[in-house]
Amino acid sequence: MIDLRLVRENPDLVRASQRARGADESLVDGLLKADTARREAVKRADDLRGEQKNASQAVRTATPAERPAVLGRAKALATEVKEAEEVQRAADAALRAAHLRIPNVVAGEVPPGGEDDAVTLRTVGDVPTYDFPVRDHIEIGEALGAIDMERGAKVSGARFYFLTGPGALLEFALAQLAISRAVAAGFIPVVAPALVKPEAMEGTGFLGEHDEEVYRIERDDLYLVGTSEVALAGMHAKEVLDLSAGPRRYAGWSSCFRREAGSYGKDTRGIIRVHWFDKVEMFSFCRPEEAQAEHLRLLAWEEEFLQALELPYRVVDIAAGDLGTSATRKYDIEAWFPSQGTYRELTSTSDCTTFQARRLSIRYRDEDGKPQTAATLNGTLCAIARTIACLLEVHQRPDGAVHVPTALRPWLGGVAELTPGMTLAAGVPPV
RNA sequence: GGAGGGCUCGCCUAGUGGCCGAUGGCGGCGGUCUUGAAAACCGCUAUGGGGUAACACCCAUCGUGGGUUCGAAUCCCACGCCCUCCGCCA
């Protein structure tokens, strides 16, 4: 949630942000009203409680003669306090509801517009050309025995798949490469739970407008995460972190689950848009003043990873209307998909400023030793299924083989190519 | 799933109805002393909310939520978490 002080002191800024997102401006006034109402309710309840405290002290010191009168007054006040507390509870709840409805304030530099208005910041690597008919990742993957869509559908339904043989090896190789690079860069590797409590889900902003995207295990009141960001952010909920030495960085591996409601007909073929995939996610906790710089660092690490995979890509600055609830700014990296003749999102990094940390109560101590709300940022290092799809397509060869980028080879037994009918034992590191 | 035990201020600990936000120790911070340090001594050492120009001040918080009472860390109920034992299990 956003900083209430900001709303009080600069409501126009928040209104402008709502407008930029194409969201409801009047929510800001609703929030201001709820804030005022709550403060009045709190004041009244506090004052009454104070009076009642004194009154019950007086009971103790009262002489036997005074006692009945004093006791009567205390009893009356007790009733009033109860009523005032009821009002306060309602006001608290109303404020919280209004507060939760407002997404993070959009950064000033964010491009205006919606989904189609992302601004390309740079394009890296040459778009490959092929002197043979280009195949998509499913054709290539099935020929390799790497992807089995049909049986995925048989077992789990649409948008599920099996990674088999070389495909399964690719998954682990990518995960190893991603984790290894992250650790070398100073990240703490984490294997995170994929099932979380509602607080973690709400705290990271996934239960707002987009809650139909999330799988819910109603019976146990748990949610399947759409990204390990949820578990990583929740990991330090209600804690005061030591951020004096700089950002605290985690690289989390977990499965991710997405209902893909409302994306009927989009990417129905292949493993680009699926209900389940595994992902290595970067997550940073830092002081708010460090967040912008940290955001660029996350982006740089994402770019380096794609460069290591020898994939051509472009970096786009996401427009205001397309930002997630928690983000003040977001950069996507889109990699080239030859079968589609276009760039498609492979990674994404968001600066959530203090928005998530405020909900989750994640703090640090400033120079004066006072607790302050931290900032959180997240970025994809490797969304494995989609990355496999891209790799297969970009690195395809006319004979159905797939070139293995040098960086990935140590995790694939040193092989330079994946080939149909390859010996799988050759594709693993020495044992 | 069944049976017990426990959850107090960073850590340990006192507190079984009335100025208890809460005792004492450790740790941490500041000071006195010292050439410097140690020791000793003195002081400080929570968080959130309201309030203020800023102080003052007020309210809340003893795992969480209810209840009893004029008054609850203390009594009652429910839940959560941790530990021990039994059963089941990757």
Using a 10 angstrom Cβ sphere, with 0-12 exposed, 13-18 middle and 19 or more buried, the burial of residue A315 is: buried
Mean pLDDT rounded to a whole number for chain A: 94
H runs (alpha helix) in A185-224:
198-203
Please report the sign of the dihedral spanned by the C-alpha atoms of residue A189, residue A191, residue A195, residue A196: negative
Strand B–CB A8 distance below 7 A: no
Strand B–CB A151 distance below 7 A: no
Closest of A346, A336, A344, A241 to residue A284, by C-alpha: A241
What pLDDT is stored for residue A355 in this prediction?
A: 95
- For the stretch A62-101, pLDDT in tens is 888 888 888 899 999 999 999 999 999 999 999 999 999 9
What is the Cα A226 distance to its own chain's centre?
Answer: 8
Sheet with A248-257, edge to edge strand ranges: A119-124, A313-317, A329-337, A342-351, A375-383, A276-286, A248-257, A188-191
Give strand B nucleotides closer than 7 A to any protein Cβ: 18-19, 47-51, 58-60, 66, 70-71
Strand B–CB A370 distance below 7 A: yes
Strand B–CB A19 distance below 7 A: no
| Spatial CB neighbours of A245, under 8 Å, sequence gap ≥ 6 | none
How far in angstroms lies nucleotide B31's C1' from the CA of residue A367? 22
* Nucleotide of closest approach to A48 (CA, C1'): B59
What percent of chain A has pLDDT above 90?
85
What pLDDT is stored for residue A413 in this prediction?
A: 96
H runs (alpha helix) in A117-228:
137-144, 149-156, 166-184, 198-203
Say if residues A206 and A229 touch (Cβ distance below 8 Å).
Answer: no
How far in angstroms lies nucleotide B6's C1' from the CA of residue A235? 25
Task: Name the closest residue (CA) to the C1' of nucleotide B50.
Answer: A43
Is 90 exceeded by the pLDDT of residue A207?
no
Cross-strand partners of A256: A277
How far in angstroms lies nucleotide B64's C1' from the CA of residue A226? 29
What pLDDT is stored for residue A210 in this prediction?
A: 79
How many angstroms separate the CA atoms of A122 and A132, rounded? 29
Closest of A336, A308, A303, A302 to residue A406, by C-alpha: A308
Strand B–CB A47 distance below 7 A: yes
Bridge-based pairing state of the strands A417-418 and A402-403 = antiparallel
- For the stretch A360-413, pLDDT in tens is 999 998 888 889 999 999 999 999 999 999 999 999 999 999 999 999 999 999
Strand B–CB A67 distance below 7 A: no
H/E stretch holding A133? none
Which positions of A are annotated as active-site residues?
258, 273, 345, 348, 386
How far in angstroms lies nucleotide B47's C1' from the CA of residue A328? 28
Is 80 exceeded by the pLDDT of residue A239?
yes
H runs (alpha helix) in A204-310:
229-235, 291-308
- ipTM value, please give it: 0.87
What pLDDT is stored for residue A64 in this prediction?
A: 83
Closest of A174, A178, A253, A173 to residue A429, by C-alpha: A173
What pLDDT is stored for residue A332 in this prediction?
A: 98
What pLDDT is stored for residue A387 in this prediction?
A: 98
In a 13 Å sphere around the CA of A370, the CA atoms on its Cβ side amount to 3
Strand B–CB A39 distance below 7 A: yes
Is 80 exceeded by the pLDDT of residue A212?
yes
- For the stretch A329-360, pLDDT in tens is 999 999 999 999 999 999 999 999 999 999 99
Q: At what angle do helices A67-100 and A26-61 cross, to 10 degrees?
A: 160
Per DSSP, the residues of A325-383 read: TT-SEEEEEEEEETTTTEEEEEEEEEE-TTHHHHHHTEEEE-TTS-EEE-EEEEEEEEE
* Nucleotide of closest approach to A42 (CA, C1'): B50
How far in angstroms lies nucleotide B16's C1' from the CA of residue A57? 20
How far in angstroms lies nucleotide B58's C1' from the CA of residue A70? 22
What pLDDT is stored for residue A94 in this prediction?
A: 93
Strand B–CB A255 distance below 7 A: no
What is the Cα A92 distance to its own chain's centre?
Answer: 27
- For the stretch A265-295, pLDDT in tens is 889 899 999 999 999 999 999 999 999 999 9
